Structure 1
């Protein structure tokens, strides 16, 4: 019996250290990269123990504190698989990736390996003038954006929903709407305060649906705003015992599993809520990004500015039945992306 040698996969999966959504989407990406006969070499940037808590130690993982050590290990590997970081990118005028990272990508292909770009999204697709995407991105084994706007802005590749849609409970296990007593509100700390009209509309929505308002922070910097919102909305700020990402993930999902809807301008607050059966209502001062990520799965109809919330509340009930089918389709599309990634890795194993 011929035993194949272990395949070595190199993934740089750094994210905002206090942002649960950043670790959640990367954990889903990591799951797609793992498998029998593979060993993943992981660099998480300058991550604290809170961020790293989501990445449980395992025999098929090696975590590097130093990017130089991680890069040297990749350079010394025959036919490596290089998985470019997922999540939001904000390319500036000039080269993307920067020349050193583009050379790293080219080296993996030149060594007979595979190059994976999967689940990346452009922060502002209207500000791409002067950005030159390196040709190595077009040569990648898999080149998949996380929304249509990013794909069209770049002008190449394909797209599939954000990795975080693949997580959460099976739709068959969701509590029915009649057994969801909460409305969850989680808002960014760095945006304009919503104002009295929005506050009144959210309170009226809770009254109309006979639910109770709770606020939660899945980004540590959002906690003061969550406390303030709870007071202004007549609700309750709920918080986990720790901001470690493994603890925080379990806690906020528990809140969303009891919620009829999640109201947020945080993309992954909306996505994680949706995967637990809470209908996502995107409401913010600048909703373009969240609109693209929800529209990618057919859930973009109730996403808009603060002053549109009252109209969304009136239309909410008619949209509720669309949630489960949308999440199922999103998960099927991510499963297809995962299959393509694994086929690309198998081709160079």
Structure 2
């Protein structure tokens, strides 16, 4: 008998199929949301024989934006939540559950949702599987929802936070870059060839006043930059049009453009920008990945952007213009333009950290199934 051969009486070990669950909800009209959901999906792809994705009300174009692989079992609408839970509960041993990256609302209306998420986490851990919570931030915490969320996070092998404040609220320890920084570094144009100052602001906030407009226009003129306004979230389109009129800039509409094409167009714009001004975090993340300097210049900033960029070592990118006059705003903006090398270095480090975390996640899953 050959050494190491299996005895005829020895039962054949049958390998059971494995299953990964990933949550991918979000509006197709928000490229920042697509960016971070895609990041979570990339961590999930290839970790199991079967991929199950819950996309909520996401339309077909949302699946294309994220790059959901052919063969994925896609569950849509709230009516499929029961099916999702059944598949999770009846899945073979050692399943993988990947939650969504991004901002987590924990107001009173989310207690039931957090209860379900805690139950999902417990199911996976009882099956000796792996739970991954990609980089997240907490918004509007209330006691019970926060307590449930913190319990679930502590039961997860990976509970990652994109800023220290959220980590402290949940009793977490691991603060890492926002997953959007893993969306791919781009060389863009050399600094000397970058000729644009790009602006993209939320449509739900008041239109900036004359002092802000003067500061941005004068900064662009002194640096020899053309002003362009862009749309990364559909609901901001009218605001971008208004800003272009006020600033004497070029307006790039979204209109009927396919979201995938729109994302590529935006990244091309950021490739040639020296400075990008926005109060949308993932506008600034994509801008920084292209080598543009990201700046938040709005009245009463929330602190979310400041905290997320501080996590990768970039500070003093935000300024409250409600308490700043035009000359001070100009000095602030001109100083930011000179920070391109620092931005590239910090963003490169962030991308490397996220690549390492993804490899760590995959190794943890392999070890759980060994």
Q: Are 1:302 and 2:298 counterparts?
A: no
User: Structure 1 residue 236 and structure 2 residue 250: aligned?
Assistant: yes
Contact 1:116 1:143 in 2 (8 A): yes
Deviation at 1:197, TM superposition (A): 0.6
**Paired position in structure 2 for 1:313:** 333
CA distance in 2, matches of 1:51, 1:310: 39
Question: What residue in structure 1 maps to residue 305 of structure 2?
Answer: 290
Aligned twin of 1:142: 158
Q: Which of 59, 66, 75 matches 1:55?
A: 66
What are the within-5 Å matches in structure 2 for residues 192-231 of structure 1? 192-231=206-245
Using the alignment, how far apart are the partners of 2:15 and 2:193 within structure 1? 51
Map 1:54-133 onto structure 2 (within 5 A). 54-59=65-70, 61-65=72-76, 66-78=80-92, 79-93=94-108, 95=111, 98-124=114-140, 127=141, 131-132=146-147, 133=149
1:253 aligns with 2:267: yes
The answer to which of 129-138 and 293-302 deviates more is 129-138
1:57, CA displacement in angstroms? 4.6
**TM-score, normalisation: structure 2:** 0.86
Q: Is the 8 A contact 2:234 2:254 kept in 1?
A: no
CA distance in 2, matches of 1:188, 1:199: 16
What runs of 5+ residues in structure 1 fail to find an aligned partner? Answer: none
Aligned-partner SS, 2:160 = strand
- For 2:120 and 2:199, the matched residues in 1 are separated by 41
Deviation at 1:286, TM superposition (A): 3.5
Count of residues paired in the alignment: 345
The range that moved more, 182-191 or 149-158, is 149-158
Q: Structure 1: how far apart are the matches of 2:282 and 2:272? A: 17
In the other structure, the counterpart of 1:41 is: 52
Tell me which residue corresponds to 1:330. Answer: 350
SS in structure 1 at match of 2:131 = strand
- For the 8 Å contact 1:294–1:300, the answer to whether it is kept is yes
Counterpart CA distance in 1 for 2:255 and 2:203 is 21
How far apart are 1:58 and its partner, in Å? Answer: 2.3
C-alpha separation between the residues in 2 aligned to 1:181 and 1:168? 22
Taking a change above 3 Å as real, the CA distance of residues 70 and 271 of structure 1, as seen in their structure-2 partners, is same
The alpha-carbon deviation at position 236 of structure 1 amounts to 1.0
Please state how far the C-alpha of 1:128 moved relative to its aligned partner. 5.1
Distance 1:338 1:13 in 2: 17
Q: Give the aligned partner of residue 265 of structure 1.
A: 279
| Residue 37 of structure 1, CA deviation | 5.1
Secondary structure at the aligned position of 1:16 is classed as: coil
Q: Quote how far apart the aligned CAs of 1:169 are.
A: 3.3
Question: Unpaired segments of 5 or more residues in structure 2?
Answer: 1-12
Say whether the 8 Å CA contact 2:20–2:48 is kept in structure 1: no
Select the structure with the greater relative contact order (CA < 8 A; seq sep ≥ 6): 1
Is the contact made by 2:47 and 2:365 (CA closer than 8 Å) also made in structure 1?
no
Residue of structure 1 in register with 2:177 after alignment:
161
Larger Rg: 2
Matches within 5 A, 1:170-209: 170=186, 173-209=187-223
**Cα displacement (A) at 1:240:** 4.4
**Does the Cα contact within 8 Å between 2:274 and 2:337 map onto a contact in 1?**
no
Cα distance, 1:96 vs structure 2: 8.2
1:346 to partner: Cα distance: 1.4
2:7 aligns to what? none
Give deviations 1:32-65, integer Å, cap 9, x for gaps. 2223654321111111234333033524533222
CA contact (8 A) 1:54 1:246 kept: yes
The structural deviation recorded for 1:274 is 0.6
Alpha-carbon distance change, 120 to 57 in structure 1, aligned in 2, over 3 angstroms:
closer
Deviation larger for 297-306 or 88-97: 88-97
Greater CA deviation, 27-36 or 218-227? 27-36
Give the aligned CA root-mean-square deviation in angstroms.
2.3
Q: SS where residue 134 of structure 2 aligns? A: strand
